[in-house]
Chain A
């Protein structure tokens, strides 16, 4: 262990405690910046200390929740697991997590690592972490102002997967046409997972669907089932391309509110304390990672049951005699999922919807026009548009035919408004983009309604 790495760890740790002490939030990535400045190889060296290995989780939607599931699976081995839990998913966030898990001797005191990694950072993360498994969840239209278009992203992911160490496994979502395509070009066969329940997939393609053409002949793909966004059971009408055969297939999907879901995997019931079809994907994906690592089905089912939602994702609390659920949504597919689930599974009637356009949200808000806000029209009672781009959201709701309250840029005022308009005993849904969720959460912590996230 070079002295430099130990120094990097110490510098990073000092930065972390300093930023927590000075109240700069959880200090989730800054220690990574500092440690890398001292030793650029610090993550590579620390990752070698992981005796079990590391799992990298990437994809547009579901990284945080799925990482949490994988974390629970590994922790039960039993094992010490290091993870970048707080959505700090660039290389600095991963480094910060490794630094936090290291001792003063500069060695990582953990057996396994679970790193959620932004798609664009995947090549660097694979190179430095040398993982045992890489999980690719999905590729949806996201914050296009930052990373360019999906095609480019698919190529970036493919390039990273081709450089995996020989004993590593790529665990891929077969139901996503673009992942199906990139996975079929890999030099080693990936482990394919997906849903196999045509009854649950009997919905039309939403407006946000975007991977719809055959990569070989250009024909529009036909779907026998659509589960989330453009993820489903697809095939080219000319027979040039189809969903790869599933190695891990989730069958007989059951959803109960936003609190529970059940699936059949390897012939046994797997349950989770999470709601919605998109979480069925997250659970199936985490299960598939477990299978790729050689873990037993019964063990996986028992561990997956133990996980509650990640912070800001279906987080529930009670305040002022009302129920609240925070739902994070960062792009059209995510937004459509949480809208649909809150309406259909939890009979949502009262909403605060907060749209920000900061760097972490994506500075381009045009994606709200691909969200099917029309879903709210038949049953909604109260919608308060909020956040930096509350007015854009209000215009979107107007053209969706949804009667909304006047826009409130200030989240505190928006919260007061929705509170005043929601009768006691009712359930309010707080739908937020990423930075809006952080701000709203901070506000709720200040009001004593929630715990700070580094305490969750």
Chain B
């Protein structure tokens, strides 16, 4: 059986807003397809075997917890993580985790905290929290359906550099910064987003896209079709309700 390993970064500290739903979705769908899924929890401290991980998940946390993981991330995780991603592993980063992928986070006082620098983007503290349901047009990813639905709750405003493309464009909600209409980032095997809710259960097409991206190197694609009627109905209902409210 082909193994499928999910590496969950700081499950004890960066775990707010039902992030477990993303992990469950990746794992259960792999199991339904006859893969052998495993979740490796990457807590603070030194971990070996990061090269065996197929998908990394990096969720959001509260300020205090985010400060606690910060040094550990830069000192102990940055290097093996970069190496694993260069080897073809995929990554989904949400909210705080997404912000930490970029060059830096700039506080309201103008202080800059460097991020992992994996992607050409940066984040600035905003004055207003963006809270609410989001619908994103992801036709650029050639997925069916061509939308993502989720819930955002962030005050940081993220700006993409010239070197990366957004995950999609918001149809409803604020997205990266509430200004340029972009939401998230999709760059090679790395996906960042402000959408939780949880994201993957209601967007099984994105879950499969990430899994397929990661498994390319193991030669197990195309993935077997699953019955997603329920997931897609949940997706459609949120999408239609949000869009009906805005037209």
Contact = CB atoms under 8 A, between A and B. Distances in A.
Contact of A212 (B12, B197, B202, B233): B12
A167 interface: no
A366 B230 contact: no
A211 to B, nearest CB: 10
Given A363-B132, A364-B153, A396 B21 contact: yes
A406 to B, nearest CB: 9
B197 A151 contact: no
In the complex, the 8 A-B pairs of residues with the closest C-beta atoms, listed nearest first: A369-B21, A369-B18, A366-B18, A391-B234, A366-B17, A149-B62, A364-B151, A366-B197
A407 B133 CA distance: 21
Interface stretch (A31-39, A51-59, A140-148, A248-256): A140-148
Which of A141, A218, A368, A369 has most chain B Cβ within 10 Å?
A369
A367 interface: yes
Contact of A210 (B16, B151, B237): B16
Interface of A: 141, 144-145, 148-151, 207, 210, 212-213, 218, 220, 363-370, 391-392, 394-396, 398-399, 407
Given A369-B19, A395-B234, 20 more contacts: A144-B17, A145-B151, A148-B129, A149-B62, A150-B62, A151-B63, A363-B132, A363-B151, A364-B151, A365-B151, A366-B198, A369-B21, A369-B24, A369-B201, A370-B18, A391-B237, A394-B230, A396-B201, A398-B230, A407-B230
Contacts of A212: 12
Contacts of B197: 364-366
A399 B201 contact: yes
Interface of B: 12-13, 15-21, 24-25, 28, 62-65, 68, 129, 131-133, 151, 153, 196-198, 201-202, 230-231, 233-234, 237-238
B196 A149 contact: no
Contacts of B233: 391
A195 B92 CA distance: 40
Contacts of A407: 230
Contacts of A395: 201-202, 230-231, 234
Contacts of A149: 16, 62-63
B16 A141 contact: yes
Contacts of B237: 391
A392 B234 contact: yes
B228 to A, nearest CB: 10
A398 B196 CA distance: 19
Nearest to B61: A149
A369 B198 contact: yes
Contact of A394 (B20, B21, B234): B234
A399 B234 CA distance: 14
B67 to A, nearest CB: 8
B137 to A, nearest CB: 21
Contacts of A368: 18, 21
B230 A391 contact: yes
Contacts of B17: 144, 364, 366-367
A145 B129 CA distance: 10
Contacts of B16: 141, 144, 149, 210
B28 A399 contact: yes
23 contacts: A145-B132, A148-B129, A149-B63, A151-B63, A210-B15, A213-B64, A213-B65, A213-B68, A363-B131, A365-B151, A366-B151, A367-B17, A367-B18, A368-B18, A369-B198, A391-B233, A391-B234, A392-B201, A392-B202, A395-B234, A396-B201, A398-B231, A407-B230
Contacts of A399: 21, 24-25, 28, 201
A407 B230 CA distance: 9
A363 B15 CA distance: 19
Nearest to A149: B62
A148 B62 CA distance: 10
Residues of A contacting B: mostly = helix
Contact of A369 (B20, B132, B238): B20
B41 to A, nearest CB: 12
B25 to A, nearest CB: 6
Contacts of B198: 366, 369
A366 B94 CA distance: 13
A141 B153 CA distance: 14
Contacts of A210: 15-16
Given A394-B234, A395-B231, A363 B62 contact: no
A117 B20 CA distance: 31
A259 to B, nearest CB: 33
A45 B231 CA distance: 54
A394 B234 CA distance: 8
Nearest to B43: A220
A363 B68 CA distance: 29
B12 A220 contact: yes
B133 A366 contact: no
A364 B196 CA distance: 9
Contacts of B63: 149, 151
B199 to A, nearest CB: 9
A181 to B, nearest CB: 11
Nearest to A372: B20
A149 B14 CA distance: 13
Nearest to B67: A218
Contacts of B238: 392
Contacts of A365: 151, 197
A395 B198 CA distance: 11
Given A151-B62, A151-B64, A368-B18, A145 B201 contact: no
Contacts of A370: 18, 20
A220 B64 CA distance: 13
B125 to A, nearest CB: 14
Given A366-B18, A369-B201, A395-B201, A145 B153 contact: yes
A16 B129 CA distance: 36
Contacts of A148: 129
A40 B225 CA distance: 62
B33 to A, nearest CB: 14
Contacts of A218: 68
A368 B20 CA distance: 10
B131 A145 contact: yes
Nearest to A209: B12
Nearest to B24: A399
B207 to A, nearest CB: 11
A148 B131 CA distance: 10
